[in-house]
């Protein structure tokens, strides 16, 4: 029986081998027939008799045999990621993903709102920064707390009251609205409360990829884990003062709306005054640093906002607009897409390049000095933010580099003509078309 079985196996294998040979001949013929015309036309290659084609056949509508996609396809995700399904020919694999969506993040729901986060645990490339989205209902409070890393925020919707106290006991209390920013440097205790009529939603960015919003230093959690006789001694009051301190963290909870801003500010500043540099910033009150037909850019760093140790750019690209080819020599870049659709290619040296698509709620990440561009691929404005874990914004663009290198030298590399090189703007474009 055993011998018979193995004989059968051999016969079957031989049959399979023959079948495979036949199939590969047929498919190779189909492949060459379908591909050769496209190849010759598109790449200008000579498909000489008896020679293997030197490039992979491709078609604009992806109809070629080697482009077929039989079997399961997630068409919803495919539609959102056309540059992953059909990568530009200039892409080359082997590069880790640099995109994650808040839509995939776990949402922690509380009575006063919700929160979710995208950290290095979700997006392994994002080692130096992490992001949090939060919604607070009208009156909803993000509990008094602090953390090791700095917190940079963009208000996405509604209005909120923020509070903080610095190392000198100086206070910051202010109301922020959609489009405003705040910074809480590392270790600075703070709170956020949703205002009327419908609370708020905001984005937080931390200069620590391993940040965890669910494990911050909370005032309730700390007091619940300190002996009440020590609390009593600390303040010189009876232990009973602390009888109602919650035994468990509040984290995000609903309360009445705060009192008038002037009243709360006066109370908090008594004896020490306000912080010397405001922790909030209003980009709506500044002019764009660059304005072009393709869009505009506002750069917000310590040059104009002395309190911040996190630099950022707010970029708006018109349909077809391009955030020009560039890189950042000083730090990694963390991105958040506020509205619209775009694509980004990151070139990672060693012939590696990858293009990914982005839309509302997506996070992008680019490591220090890796060149990239962002293109609006939709028919509405694309708005995204670039955030850097450093006080000052820095970039170098391809055009800027070429404009300030001897034209002869660049032309000897690229053969683009010295006339073209001489005409490149001497000032960085940032956004094109100009
Ligand atoms: Mn915080
Ligand atoms: Mn960039």
d(CA 369, CA 330): 7
Q: Which of these ranges, 26-35, 107-116, 274-283, 298-307, has the smallest mean pLDDT?
A: 26-35
pLDDT: which is higher, 277 or 21? 277
Q: What does residue 336 show for φ and ψ, rounded to 5 degrees? A: -135, 130
Give me ligand 2 centre to Cα 329, in Å.
10
CA angle, 338 then 344 then 345, to 5°: 165
Give the pLDDT confidence score for residue 55 in this predicted structure.
82
Domains of the chain: 106-281 (2.60.120.10), 286-432 (2.60.120.10)
Q: How far is the CA of 153 from the centre of ligand 1 (A)?
A: 9
Position 52 scores a pLDDT of: 59
* Per annotation, catalytic residue among 386, 394, 412, 428: 386
Nearest ligand, measured from the Cα of 297 = 2
In the reported structure, the alpha carbon of residue 200 is separated from the centroid of ligand 1 by a whole-number distance in angstroms of 15
Query: How far away, in angstroms, is 101 Cα from ligand 2 center?
Result: 19
pTM: 0.87
pLDDT (tens digit per residue) in 285-329: 999 999 999 999 999 999 999 999 999 999 999 999 999 999 999
What is the torsional sign of CA 157, 195, 176, 206? negative
Distance CA 36, CA 46 (A): 9
Q: Which pLDDT score is estimated for 94?
A: 80
**CB hemisphere CA count around 312 (13 angstroms):** 29
DSSP one-letter string for 156-198 = EEEEEEEEEE-TTS-EEEEEEETT-EEEE-TT--EEEEE-TTT
Annotation marks residue 360 as catalytic: no
- 183 contacts 310 by C-beta, under 8 angstroms: yes
Instruction: Determine the pLDDT at residue 178.
Output: 98
Whole-number pLDDT of residue 5: 40
What digits encode the pLDDT tens for the residues 259-272? 999 999 999 999 99
| Terminal-to-terminal C-alpha distance of the chain | 80
- Measured distance CA(108)–CA(115) in Å, rounded: 5
More confident residue, 51 or 384: 384
Task: Please give the backbone phi and psi of residue 351, each rounded to the nearest 5 degrees, phi first.
Answer: 70, 15
For 134-171, what is each residue's pLDDT tens digit? 999 999 999 999 999 999 999 999 999 999 999 999 99
Which ligand neighbours the alpha carbon of 395 most closely?
A: 2
State the chain's mean pLDDT as an integer: 91
């Amino acid at each position: 029986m055993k011998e018979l079985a193995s004989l059968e196996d051999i016969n079957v294998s031989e049959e399979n081998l023959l079948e495979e040979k036949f199939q590969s001949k047929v498919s190779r013929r189909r492949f060459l027939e379908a591909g050769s015309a496209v190849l010759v036309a598109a790449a200008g290659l000579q498909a000489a008799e008896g020679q293997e084609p030197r490039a992979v056949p491709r078609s604009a509508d992806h109809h070629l045999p080697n482009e077929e996609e039989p079997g399961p396809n997630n068409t919803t995700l495919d539609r959102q990621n056309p540059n992953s399904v059909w990568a530009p020919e200039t892409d080359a694999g082997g590069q880790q993903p640099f995109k994650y969506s808040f839509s995939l993040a776990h949402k922690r729901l509380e009575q006063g709102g919700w929160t979710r986060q995208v950290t290095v645990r979700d997006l392994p490339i994002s080692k130096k920064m992490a992001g949090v989205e939060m919604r607070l209902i009208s009156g909803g409070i993000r509990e008094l707390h602090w953390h090791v890393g700095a917190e940079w925020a963009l208000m996405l919707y509604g209005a909120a009251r923020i509070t903080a106290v610095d190392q000198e006991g100086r206070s910051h209390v202010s109301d922020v609205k959609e489009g405003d920013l705040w910074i809480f440097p590392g270790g600075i205790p703070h709170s956020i409360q949703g205002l009327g009529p419908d609370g708020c939603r905001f984005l937080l960015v931390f200069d620590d990829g391993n940040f965890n919003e669910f494990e911050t230093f909370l005032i309730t959690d700390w007091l619940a884990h300190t002996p009440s006789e020590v609390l009593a001694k600390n303040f010189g009051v009876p232990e009973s003062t602390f009888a109602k301190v919650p035994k468990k963290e509040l984290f995000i909870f609903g309360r009445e709306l705060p009192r008038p801003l002037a009243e709360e500010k006066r109370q908090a500043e008594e004896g020490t005054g306000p912080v010397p540099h405001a922790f909030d910033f209003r980009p709506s009150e500044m002019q764009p640093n660059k304005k072009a037909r393709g869009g505009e850019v506002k750069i917000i760093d310590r040059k104009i906002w002395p309190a911040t140790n996190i630099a950022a750019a707010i970029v708006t690209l018109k349909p077809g607009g391009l955030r020009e080819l560039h890189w950042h020599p000083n730090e990694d870049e963390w991105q958040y897409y506020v509205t619209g659709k775009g694509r980004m290619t990151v070139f990672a040296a060693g012939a590696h390049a990858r293009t990914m698509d982005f839309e509302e709620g997506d996070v992008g990440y680019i490591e220090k000095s890796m060149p990239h561009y962002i293109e609006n691929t939709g028919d509405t404005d694309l708005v995204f933010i670039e955030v850097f874990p450093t006080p000052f914004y820095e970039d170098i663009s391809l055009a800027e580099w070429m404009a300030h290198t001897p034209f002869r030298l660049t032309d000897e590399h690229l053969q683009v003509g010295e006339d073209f090189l001489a005409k490149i703007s001497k000032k960085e474009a940032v956004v094109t078309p100009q």
